[in-house]
A and B are shown apart, each in its own frame.
Chain A
Amino acid sequence: MLEEIKAHITGVVFQVTTKAGDRVAAGDAVIVLESMKMEIPVEAPRSGAVKEIRVREGQTVQEGDVVAVLE
Chain B
Amino acid sequence: MFRACRQLGLKTVAVFSEADRGALHVRDADEAVAIGGAPARESYLNAERILAAARHSRADAIHPGYGFLSENWRFADAVHQAGIEFIGPRPEAIRKMGDKIEARRLMAAAGVPVLPGSFEPVADVGGAEAVARDVGFPVFLKAAAGGGGIGIARVDKPTDLAGAFAMATRRAQAAFGTGELYIERYLERPRHVEIQVFGDSSGQIVHLYERECSIQRRHQKLVEESPAPNLPPPSKTGLASAAVAGARAIGYTNAGTMEFLVDEGGGFYFLEMNARLQVEHPVTEEVTGLDLVVAQLRVASGEPLPWSQSEIVQRRVAIECRVYAEDPSKGFLPSPGTVQRLDLPSGEGIRIESGVEAGSTVSVHYDSLLLKLIAHGATRQEALERMVNALDRCVVEGLQTTIPFLRRVVASDEFKAGRVHTQLLEQGAFNA
Residues of A within 8 A of B (CB): 8-12, 34-38, 40, 60
Please, which residue of chain B has its CB at the minimum distance from the CB of A15?
B174
**Could you say which of A8, A12, A36, A40 contacts B325, with CB atoms under 8 Å apart?**
A36
Within 8 A of A (CB), among B322-381: 325-326, 333-337, 364-368
Are the C-beta atoms of B334 and A40 separated by less than 8 Å? Answer: yes
For B336, the chain A residues whose CB sits under 8 A away are: 9-11, 35-36
For A40, the chain B residues whose CB sits under 8 A away are: 333-334
A20 to B39, CA, bound (A): 28
Are the C-beta atoms of B337 and A36 separated by less than 8 Å? Answer: no
6 nearest CB pairs, A to B? A36-B334, A36-B368, A35-B334, A35-B364, A11-B364, A10-B336
Are the C-beta atoms of B337 and A10 separated by less than 8 Å? Answer: yes
Residues of B within 8 A of A (CB): 39, 218, 325-326, 333-337, 364-368
Are the C-beta atoms of A9 and B365 separated by less than 8 Å? Answer: no
For B365, the chain A residues whose CB sits under 8 A away are: 12, 36
For B334, the chain A residues whose CB sits under 8 A away are: 9-11, 35-36, 38, 40
Are the C-beta atoms of B364 and A60 separated by less than 8 Å? Answer: yes
25 pairs from A and B in contact (CB 8 Å cutoff): A8-B333, A9-B333, A9-B334, A9-B336, A10-B336, A10-B337, A10-B364, A11-B364, A12-B39, A12-B365, A34-B364, A35-B336, A36-B325, A36-B326, A36-B364, A36-B366, A36-B367, A36-B368, A37-B366, A37-B368, A38-B333, A38-B334, A38-B368, A40-B334, A60-B364
A10 to B336, CA, bound (A): 7
Most A Cβ at <10 Å: residue of B39, B337, B365, B366: B365
Please, which residue of chain A has its CB at the minimum distance from the CB of B366?
A36
Nearest CB of B to A36, in Å = 4
A12 to B41, CA, bound (A): 14
A32 to B367, CA, bound (A): 18
15 more CB-based (< 8 A) A-B contacts, given A36-B325, A38-B368: A8-B333, A11-B364, A12-B39, A12-B364, A34-B364, A35-B334, A35-B364, A36-B336, A36-B364, A36-B368, A37-B366, A37-B367, A38-B218, A38-B334, A60-B364
A40 to B327, CA, bound (A): 13
Nearest CB of A to B71, in Å = 15
Please, which residue of chain A has its CB at the minimum distance from the CB of B337?
A10
Nearest CB of B to A10, in Å = 5
Nearest CB of A to B132, in Å = 26
A19 to B366, CA, bound (A): 28
Most A Cβ at <10 Å: residue of B326, B336, B366: B336
Nearest CB of A to B360, in Å = 14
For A9, the chain B residues whose CB sits under 8 A away are: 333-336
Please, which residue of chain B has its CB at the minimum distance from the CB of A11?
B364
A52 to B337, CA, bound (A): 28
Nearest CB of B to A32, in Å = 10
For A8, the chain B residues whose CB sits under 8 A away are: 333
For A38, the chain B residues whose CB sits under 8 A away are: 218, 333-334, 368
For A37, the chain B residues whose CB sits under 8 A away are: 366-368
Please, which residue of chain B has its CB at the minimum distance from the CB of A60?
B364
A60 to B364, CA, bound (A): 9
A38 to B365, CA, bound (A): 10
Most B Cβ at <10 Å: residue of A9, A12, A37, A38: A37
For A10, the chain B residues whose CB sits under 8 A away are: 334, 336-337, 364
Please, which residue of chain A has its CB at the minimum distance from the CB of B325?
A36
Nearest CB of B to A60, in Å = 7
Most A Cβ at <10 Å: residue of B326, B333, B366: B333
Please, which residue of chain B has its CB at the minimum distance from the CB of A14?
B174
A38 to B324, CA, bound (A): 13
Nearest CB of A to B330, in Å = 8
Please, which residue of chain B has its CB at the minimum distance from the CB of A61?
B364
A60 to B368, CA, bound (A): 17
Nearest CB of B to A42, in Å = 12
Nearest CB of A to B279, in Å = 14
A10 to B326, CA, bound (A): 12
A3 to B325, CA, bound (A): 30
For B333, the chain A residues whose CB sits under 8 A away are: 8-9, 38, 40
